[in-house]
Amino acid sequence: MSVLLLDHDGQGTHTIAQYLGELEIDADVYKSHQLSIDDIITLDPSHIILSPSEKNLEETIAIIQHLGPDRPMLGIGLGFIAVIQACYGTLESIPGFYAGQVHQVKHTGTRLFHGLPNPLAGVCYQHHSVTVDNLPKTLDVIAWTPSSSKLTDVIVAVKHQSWPLEAILFHPEAMLSEYGHKLLHNFVHK
């Protein structure tokens, strides 16, 4: 079992690799521009974690669409954004969200959140998400957080209905996020 971490110079990619190391899970970090889809197939990782940035969002979306159907994949932070867009969803700015903000994340307790307290604290660095109205039909909401400025909750985690594809808007590796190790453990082992 090996995890491929696609690094887009994100804020926490290497910390995630540290977490995986502490969980005794092999993780290889590659700069996103170093690998093509064929390269990833050749590496044959058991799991993929995405932390893309805007600069190569299109490539990341292509990876999701090509490998998403049969390769367990987790988008984190901007990876969440990429997953939404790869599934043809529309994002919008969430007023009141700012980088580093700690949110109370309520969840469904499904696979990724198996055995985790509900709610738990999660730190978001992005202020874009998707509303229920704009959520792609192929995605299910698995976690959300109340919004101070919106009547509806803000979606902070989704899973694909038929692919092993999940995404979380909050950062499990952030210092103020709770149960980050457990969440990553669930992604790999559950």
Partner 1 sequence: MDEITFSDFAAAGYNYIPVIRKQTWHDSLGALLRCFPESSVWKLAFKHRTYVYLTLDYQHKISAFGNTIVAQQGQTVHTWPDTPLWPYIEDLRAAYTVPPLHSIYADLPPLMGGMIGILPRAPSQNSTTSWPDATWLVMKTVIILDTHEKTLWLLAYDDPIHRHTWITLNQQLDVITKRLADVPEETALMRAHAQQAKIALAHQTTPEALMTLAQAQTQALDACYAAMRYVSTNTVHSALMPEPADFLAYVDSHTIAYWLHSPTFQLLGAADTCHITLSGQTLCGYLASPVPSPDETLASLLWDSLRNDLSQVALPGSMRIVDPAIADGKHHWQQQYLQTQIAEDTSVFDVLRACHPASAFLGCPKIDAPFKLNNTSSEPYLLGCQIAIIGWDHQSVMWVSQKAKHWHSTSDIHVSSGETCEEIGIPVIAGLTPKLAKDKA
Footprint on this chain of partner 1 (rule: CB under 8 A): 8-15, 17-18, 20-24, 27, 53, 98-102, 123, 125, 171, 173-176
* Least spacing, CB of residue 135 vs partner 1, in Å: 28
Residue 84's nearest CA partner among 135, 18, 33 is 135
* Least spacing, CB of residue 119 vs partner 1, in Å: 18
Rounded Cα–Cα distance for residues 130 and 184 (Å): 23
* Least spacing, CB of residue 61 vs partner 1, in Å: 20
Q: Rg for the chain (alpha carbons), in Å? A: 15
Residue 176's nearest CA partner among 127, 137, 123, 124 is 123
Q: Which is nearer to partner 1, 24 or 44 (CB)?
A: 24
**Is the CB of residue 60 less than 8 Å from the CB of residue 79?**
yes
